[in-house]
Amino acid sequence: MSDTTKYAVFGAGSWATAIVKMLCENLDEIGWYMRSVYAKEHILKEQHNPSYLSSVEFKTEQLKLSNDINEIAEWADVLVFVIPSAFIHAELEKLTVDISKKTIVSAVKGIMPETGKLVGEQFHDAYNIPFENIAVIAGPCHAEEVALERLSYLTIACDDSKKAQAIADNLSSDYIKTKISDDIIGIEYAVMLKNIYAIAAGIAHGLGYGDNFQSVLMSNSIREMKRFIKKMHKMKRNINNSAYLGDLLVTGYSIFSRNRMFGNMIGKGYTVKSAQMEMNMVAEGYYATKSAFDLNKKNKKKTQLPIINAVYDILYEGKDAKKVFQKLTDKLD
């Protein structure tokens, strides 16, 4: 990638806003696509996102803002997608320009519900993008702490290590440290799965379980994640690295975790619909739970996933959270 490589971000939520902020530390101009005409006009006038991370101020001369996905996709060389997995399919259907020669970076924390594919796989199959031109961003990194410029860490996974390093360099700053990996599939699954375990942690908290149980739940979660990923994509990886265990821990424990917040509401007795309505942000783990459950169901030899199964039973089968967790406690060690 040359110094003239143009980057664009697709999405206008808190994580998209945080990624734009990171790129603004290193690049003179960043493309930014968002659906909302109001959000675009507000940023141009007030220099901040009206709905997410409003404390982050932008220099608007650095931003190429547009409500036209094709304009931004055509302009940029590196397309960073940060649209929730439940909505990305509808956004991609608007694409008419050829993106087969572009580099795609997925910061989407989930699986495409329409196809059951990882976002990277979807881009490869539907848009003929070679796997070496697809990258994934993983944490542990909450958007809210990026806004506060608290030290955070990112892992950039790509089959092409030079591309991964170039992307990492453009996201790095005094408060963002980066590393690269070649485990693009494993990390994309980990990014999806950690949100399910964060919902489980939230449910446990909502039900009144304490820190002792939470630690057992997280310990079992990383082992369950390891089993799931190994079944889906076998390769040598250290599951204790930050992109897997670190991201899981911050999502499971942090006050900024929307998935934990969603789970906490479910544990306190909210219905799925009422919890979703009260939250202003998408809890990716809700969609990820069904995706992970369905993927495991397709396997002839199913992986033991007691935590994912418990969350699925509560969210999709309408089972009583208290009873489900009482049974789950006997399956953990």
- Asked if 245 and 322 count as a contact pair (C-beta separation under 8 A), the reply is no
Catalytic residue among 194, 231, 322, 323: 194
Told to judge if 194 belongs to the known catalytic residues of this protein, a careful annotator would answer yes
Instruction: Return d(Cα 98, Cα 85) in angstroms, integer.
Output: 21
Residues with catalytic roles: 194
